[in-house]
Amino acid sequence: MVKSLVLSMLIAIPLIGQTLTNHSEKLTIKRKVFNLSSYADFDFRTTNERGFYYRHLDIGVNFPLAKTWSTSVQYRNIYTKKNGEWKLEKRPKALIQKTINTADFKWAIRSLQEFRIRSGKEDALRNRIRVMAKSNNDWNGLKPFVGNEFFYDMESNDYNKNWFVVGFDLSKVNFSSPTIYYKHISDYIDGKWVFTYTMVFKIAI
């Protein structure tokens, strides 16, 4: 029953994405390379105001430090459409993460440092801190999660962006693991907070 539901949702997602004003489609490929966990992540974003305006390729390798600690080295190429042209931003990144397992939830606390190399703008350093809680219990094939990520601009000494997410992982279907979540986006612009949203549809293989 659950697998049939998941398959129906996977077929419906592209159709739903066409009707949602703000949506993102993600594909994550995870593999073991020299016994280390590595990944490649593709992301495509569309909004009502800007249309299809964003795409990125992200690659990284994870290194275990201890039983509940890990670190990762990552690199991302971001293409953002402005005035009809695609602008490139390069982001070398590094993170450290602590996980805490309880009977009901798996907690992950992450600090990510990214260096933003931007065309037409000054380079910038930013820190992102994320707290995520994911259920350890399977509810009819669904695992709910909730999280919050704080963005801190090191150059301007400013907390100027926030992402709040809530969603669920679905049971693995064949070789893929689907995830659906709502992202509430807060941006601090010209002295005030501006709020938007996006629905994210992710497949991990």
Q: Phi and psi dihedrals of 175, rounded to 5? A: -105, 5
- The full 3-state SS of 143-182, as one line of letters, equals EEEEEEEEEEECCCCEEEEEEEEEEEEECCECCEEEEEEE
What distance lies between CA 157 and its chain's CA centroid?
Answer: 24
Task: List, in sequence order, every beta strand (DSSP E) within the chain.
Answer: 23-33, 36-47, 51-64, 69-82, 85-101, 105-118, 124-135, 142-153, 158-170, 177-189, 192-204
Question: What's the residue count for the chain?
Answer: 205
Q: For the whole model, what pTM was predicted?
A: 0.88
Tens-binned pLDDT, residue by residue, of the chain (205 aa): 444 444 444 444 444 444 568 999 999 999 999 889 999 999 999 999 999 999 999 999 999 999 999 999 999 999 999 999 999 999 999 999 999 999 999 999 999 999 999 988 899 999 999 999 999 998 888 999 999 999 999 989 999 999 999 999 998 888 899 999 999 999 999 999 999 999 999 999 9
Please answer whether residues 39 and 59 qualify as being in contact, where contact means their C-beta atoms are separated by less than 8 angstroms: yes
Choose among 84, 23, 88: nearest CA to 57.
88
Q: Class assignment of domain 2-204?
A: mainly beta
